[in-house]
């Protein structure tokens, strides 16, 4: 009987354990940030041969770890496929999802996600073989298109062909890898995903020069990190990590000059680096949270250039992703 | 309990909590209560957490518009007009199609290989052994990927399609066959087909009765063939051939018209059939081995020739051993068809637990439905096989 009571008590403890709202405390106790990321997309999230992760989304997670734990290396990257990513975040397997994920209304509401902002303004495009002599996506009537499952891409594709009264044969794969491989093997005439992804995947094809990216961008794809509903403090921290990266670029703070910035007299800079006010403490972090972020990965511009921009193999033009005062739409609320 | 005591002794008074019957009942009731409590706690815990995170729950999504395309649809489906519920049925039918055809192919192939392993011909039996040992020791997922790549890589591009006489086109987008277009009056052919089947059954019963009475045999097989195939053909000619074919036509990108067999489907069907056939072959071999050699000798001594001996004596007895493990192979094949997700075939798991789950975010509901479906398919298969098994089981008199 005693055994039974012990078992029942154990059952109560086990079943009563619910997903904690205290993500910050959980992460600090664990000493490690679990970051859901893309494991196969160059420029956004990809481990190299030594298991070192690089990418725009990877750097966001490193920045978050630097802000929360003071060490950008205390991140465990969990590679997720497009279709499994939301379940992983909902169930608490990861603390934050930074996996080139499009911000949409249904994901923000019924999927139980909170998008913290946009770290890359993207749009969906098509890649085809040069030999097909197709110059526009509008000529793709009747084509087979390979696409990755569980993406906004899958839905936009269907909308685009219907809107232009064209037929399409969709072949859906569970991962981008499989979709690209099938496209490369000739299963489909076109491969579609976000434009940034097209440039990255094109470089991985057998003969990259045999393929072109069509000029049409058929959708808005604001990509951003997301956290779970129900933990406002963690949501704030995730949001302001992204804003700190953008504000740092705007204020001219870089990985190199961050220590000099501590002596700055500019009140905007002083508030960001924590020499004035207690803005870090308000977030539940240390005073120098933004300094930790910039020391770890640099500002938004540096992160962009290193992973997808001028200093990367992808060489994607910053376009919309320039700061608001340089002709783009990247904008962050002020620290004050 | 006290009634079991020998008569004459005074009845022993036992405290009720020491009564083994009461005790075992109490333990079982406690166990049931704990299990029920665990399930209740897990469910209410899940509901509370879903509510706290404001994640949608319930089955309302079933009637929402799906918005995504599916490459193979056996029933009418369109991304814009169809619901998630419709997508579920499309996926389920695709699963049933590949599982049903897979069971047929695997059974035929498995029986051939199983019998070949018992062949006296050294080459045939060693080849069959090699097949079984190779195929069943390689993971199915690898085999599926192999077949998919073999299909895609070895077939030509659209422009250089193989053209097979009869309007058949083969390329790396699939196999394209002419599809029959039924004209008015075709229903007579269908009626003739069923009349042929009914007549064959009647003839079979009559032939058996006559054999029991007189010992004379009638050509049941050829007569049935004539009735089932011949009769509809005759009706087809008489009604003026109300049947034409739609031929596949090459367009700029793809082939349209005709029937289409997707490479994903072909690879999955190949992989599943070949893999499961290796296991069925072993089941068949074991079944035949289980029939005592004395049975064959007895049949020979009664004057039966080898062919009727196999058909009337060995196979019916072997089936008793074969059916139960064969059932579990059928169930395995059906469940393994969910590996379709790896090669892009739109089965239930790919469509429903893949895209629908992701778009709606309702993992609990979607996974529960999918598990219930596989359970239903498996139980239904078991039921049918059990009915068949009880019909052929040894009847002891």
**Out of A106, A162, A185, whose CB is closest to B80?**
A162
Kindly state whether residues B30 and B142 are assigned to the same domain.
no
CA–CA min distance B248, chain A (Å): 14
Q: pLDDT band at residue A19, thresholds of 50, 70 and 90?
A: very low
Q: From A140, which residue of chain B is nearest by alpha-carbon distance?
A: B253
Q: Which of these ranges, A156-165, B4-13, B299-308, has the smallest mean pLDDT?
A: B4-13
The pLDDT value given to residue B137: 94
Q: Which residues in B lie closer than 8 A to residue A87 (C-beta atoms)?
A: 357, 361, 363
Residues spanned by the domain of B322: 84-178+247-392
Whether B316 maps to a domain, the answer reads: yes
Burial of B75 (0-12, 13-18, 19+ CB in 10 A): exposed
DSSP secondary structure letter of residue B155: S
Q: Which two tokens stand for residue B205?
A: 């019963």
Mean pLDDT, rounded, of chain B: 88
Domain presence at residue B69: no
**What would the pLDDT profile of B117-172 be if each residue is shown by its tens digit?**
988 899 999 999 999 999 999 999 999 999 998 877 788 887 788 888 877 888 88
Confidence of residue B1 (pLDDT cuts 50, 70, 90): very low
Range A132-151 average pLDDT: 90
Residue A249 confidence (pLDDT): 96
Q: Is residue B167 located within the same domain as residue B30? A: no
pLDDT at res. A14: 43
Which pTM value belongs to this model?
A: 0.81
Number of domains in chain B: 2
pLDDT at residue number B6: 58
Answer whether A87 touches B (CB < 8 Å).
yes
- The CA distance from A126 to A144, in Å, is 12
Contact (CB, 8 A) for A304 and A297: no
Query: Who contacts A208 (Cβ-Cβ below 8 Å, separation ≥6)?
Result: A202
* Confidence label for A160 from pLDDT (cuts 50, 70 and 90): very high
**Other Cβ atoms closer than 10 A to A328:** 14
- On the question of pLDDT at A2 being above 50, the answer is no
Pick one of 3.30.70.940, 3.40.50.300, 3.20.20.70, 3.40.190.10 as the CATH number of A24-121+223-309: 3.40.190.10
The yes-or-no verdict on residue A86 having pLDDT over 70 is yes
Query: Which residues of chain B have a CB within 8 Å of the CB of A172?
Result: 68-71, 344, 346, 350, 354-355
Write down the pLDDT at residue A15.
Answer: 40
Q: What is the pLDDT of residues B287-323, one digit of tens each?
A: 999 999 899 999 999 999 988 888 888 888 898 889 9
B373 inside domain: yes
In a domain, B211, yes or no: no
- Report whether pLDDT(A12) > 50: no
| Whole-number average pLDDT of chain A | 89
Residues B20-79: tens digit of each pLDDT: 888 899 999 999 999 999 999 988 888 888 887 778 788 889 999 888 889 888 888 988
Query: In terms of domains, do B165 and B302 share one?
Result: yes
* Residues in A touching B45 (Cβ below 8 Å): 15-18
pLDDT at B3: 52
pLDDT band at B111 (very low <50, low <70, confident <90, very high): very high
B75, part of any domain: no
pLDDT given for residue B270 in this prediction = 92
Residue B185 lies in a domain: no
Model confidence band, residue A18 (pLDDT cutoffs 50, 70, 90): very low
Tell whether B23 and B143 lie within a shared domain: no
Pair (B168, B98) in one structural domain: yes
Same domain, B154 and B256: yes
Give pLDDT tens digits for A34-80: 999 999 898 999 998 888 999 999 999 999 999 999 999 999 999 99
Indicate if the pLDDT at residue A315 is higher than 80: yes
Residue B265 shares a structural domain with residue B168: yes
A11 shares contact with chain B (CB less than 8 Å): yes
Residues B8, B139, single domain; the answer is no
**A158 vs B45, B79, B346: nearest CB:** B79
Sign of CA dihedral B220, B225, B226, B227: positive
Q: State whether residue B328 is helix, strand or coil.
A: helix
What is the DSSP secondary-structure string of B86-102?
Answer: HHHHHHHHHHHHHHHHH
B41 contacts A11? CB cut-off 8 A: yes
The reply to whether B169 and B276 lie within a common domain is yes
Across the interface, do B263 and A87 touch by the CB < 8 Å criterion?
no
The predicted model gives A244-271 an average pLDDT of 94
pLDDT, mean of residues A6-31: 63
Residues of A in contact with B359 (CB under 8 A): 106, 150, 155
Q: State whether residue A141 sits within 8 Å of chain B by CB.
A: yes
The number of angstroms, rounded, from the C-alpha of A59 to the middle of its chain's C-alpha atoms is 9
Instruction: State which residue of chain B sits closest to A172, comparing Cα positions.
Output: B344
Nearest CA of chain B to the CA of A190: how many Å?
A: 10
Using a CB-CB cut-off of 8 Å, the residues of chain B touching A185 are 149, 152-153, 172
- Please indicate, yes or no, whether residues B90 and B36 belong to a single structural domain of this protein: no
Q: Does A178 touch chain B (CB under 8 A)?
A: yes
Nearest to B158 by CA among A188, A206, A251: A188
Q: What is the ipTM of this complex?
A: 0.78
Look at B345 and A21; give whichever has higher pLDDT: B345
Interface test with B, best of A6, A136, A186, A189 (most B CBs within 10 A): A186
Better-predicted residue by pLDDT, B268 or B52: B268
What CATH class does A124-219 carry? alpha beta
Indicate the pLDDT class of residue A228, thresholds 50, 70 and 90: very high
- What stretch(es) of chain A map to CATH 3.40.190.10? 24-121+223-309, 124-219
Q: Compute and round to an integer the Cα radius of gyration of chain A.
A: 22
> Is B183 inside a domain boundary?
no
Structural domain includes residue B260: yes
Judged by CB atoms closer than 8 Å, whether chains meet at A159 and B67 is answered as yes
> Tell me, what's the pLDDT at B232?
85
Q: Please indicate, yes or no, whether residues B302 and B170 belong to a single structural domain of this protein.
A: yes
Range with the largest mean pLDDT of A27-36, B187-196, B320-329:
A27-36
CA distances, A259 to each of A192, A288, A289, A305, B266 (Å): 44, 11, 13, 22, 63
DSSP A193-241: EEHHHHHHHHTTSTTGGGEEE-S---S-EEE--EEETT-HHHHHHHHHH
The C-alpha of B299 sits at a distance from chain A's nearest C-alpha, in angstroms, of: 57
Res. A13 pLDDT band, cuts 50 70 90: very low
């Amino acid at each position: 009987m005693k055994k039974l009571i012990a078992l029942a008590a154990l059952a109560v403890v086990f079943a009563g354990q619910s997903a904690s709202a205290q993500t910050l405390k959980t992460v600090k106790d664990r000493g490690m940030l679990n970051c859901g990321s893309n494991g196969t997309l160059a420029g956004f999230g990809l481990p190299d041969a030594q298991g070192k992760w690089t990418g725009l989304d990877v750097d966001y997670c490193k920045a978050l770890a630097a802000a929360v734990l003071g060490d950008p290396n205390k991140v465990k990257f969990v590679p997720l496929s497009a279709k499994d990513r939301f379940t992983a975040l909902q169930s608490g397997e990861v603390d934050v999802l930074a996996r080139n994920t499009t911000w949409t209304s249904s994901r923000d509401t019924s999927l139980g996600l909170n998008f913290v902002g946009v770290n890359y303004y993207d749009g969906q495009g098509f890649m085809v073989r040069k030999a097909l002599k197709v110059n526009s996506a509008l000529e793709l009537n009747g084509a087979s298109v390979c696409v990755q499952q569980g993406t906004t891409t899958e839905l936009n594709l269907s909308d685009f062909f219907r809107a232009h009264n064209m037929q399409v044969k969709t072949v859906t794969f569970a991962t981008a890898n499989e979709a690209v491989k099938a496209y490369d093997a000739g299963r489909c005439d076109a491969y579609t995903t976000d434009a940034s992804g097209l440039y990255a995947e094109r470089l991985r094809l057998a003969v990259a020069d045999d393929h072109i990216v069509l000029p049409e961008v058929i959708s808005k794809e604001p990509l951003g990190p997301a956290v779970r509903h129900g933990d406002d403090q963690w949501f704030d921290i995730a949001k302001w990590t992204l804003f700190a990266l953008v504000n740092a670029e705007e204020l001219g703070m870089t990985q190199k000059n961050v220590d000099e910035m501590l002596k700055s007299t500019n009140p905007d800079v002083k508030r960001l680096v924590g020499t004035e006010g207690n803005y870090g403490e308000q977030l539940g972090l240390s005073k120098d949270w933004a300094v930790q972020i910039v020391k770890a990965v640099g500002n938004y511009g540096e992160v962009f250039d290193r992973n997808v921009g001028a200093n990367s193999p992808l060489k994607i033009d910053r376009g919309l992703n320039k700061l608001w005062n340089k002709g783009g739409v990247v904008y962050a609320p002020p620290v004050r | 309990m006290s009634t079991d005591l020998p008569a004459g002794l005074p009845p022993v008074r036992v405290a009720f909590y020491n009564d083994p019957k009461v005790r075992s009942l109490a333990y079982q009731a406690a166990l049931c209560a704990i299990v029920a409590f665990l399930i209740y706690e897990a469910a209410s815990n899940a509901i509370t957490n879903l509510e706290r995170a404001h994640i949608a729950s319930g089955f309302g999504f079933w009637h929402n518009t799906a918005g995504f395309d599916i490459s193979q649809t056996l029933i009418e489906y369109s991304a814009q007009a169809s619901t998630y519920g419709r997508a579920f049925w499309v996926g389920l039918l695709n699963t049933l199609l590949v599982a049903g055809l897979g069971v047929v192919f695997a059974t035929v192939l498995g029986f051939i290989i199983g019998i070949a392993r018992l062949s006296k011909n050294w080459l045939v039996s060693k080849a069959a052994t090699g097949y079984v040992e190779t195929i069943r020791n390689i993971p199915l997922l690898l085999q599926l990927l192999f077949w998919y790549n073999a299909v895609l890589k070895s077939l030509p591009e659209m422009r250089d399609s193989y053209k097979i006489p009869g309007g058949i086109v083969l390329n790396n987008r699939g196999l394209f066959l002419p599809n029959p277009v039924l004209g008015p009056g075709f229903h007579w052919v269908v009626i003739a087909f069923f009349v042929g089947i009914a007549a064959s059954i009647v003839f079979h019963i009559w032939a058996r009765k006559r054999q029991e009475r007189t010992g004379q045999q009638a050509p049941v097989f050829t007569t049935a063939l004539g009735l089932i195939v011949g009769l509809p053909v005759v009706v087809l000619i008489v009604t003026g051939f109300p049947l034409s074919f739609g031929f596949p036509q090459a367009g700029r990108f793809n082939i349209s018209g005709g029937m289409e067999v997707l490479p994903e489907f072909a690879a999955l069907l190949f992989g599943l059939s070949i893999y499961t056939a290796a296991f069925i072959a072993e089941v068949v071999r074991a079944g035949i081995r289980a029939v005592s050699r004395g049975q064959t000798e007895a049949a020979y001594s009664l004057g039966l020739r080898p062919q009727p001996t196999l058909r009337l004596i060995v196979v019916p007895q072997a089936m008793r051993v074969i059916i139960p493990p064969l059932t579990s192979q059928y169930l395995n094949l059906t469940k393994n068809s969910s590996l379709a997700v790896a090669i892009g075939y739109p089965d239930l798991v790919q469509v429903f637990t893949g895209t629908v789950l992701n778009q709606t975010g309702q993992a609990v509901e979607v996974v529960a439905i999918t598990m219930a479906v596989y359970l239903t398919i498996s139980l239904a298969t078991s039921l049918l096989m059990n009915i068949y098994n009880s019909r052929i089981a040894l009847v002891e008199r």
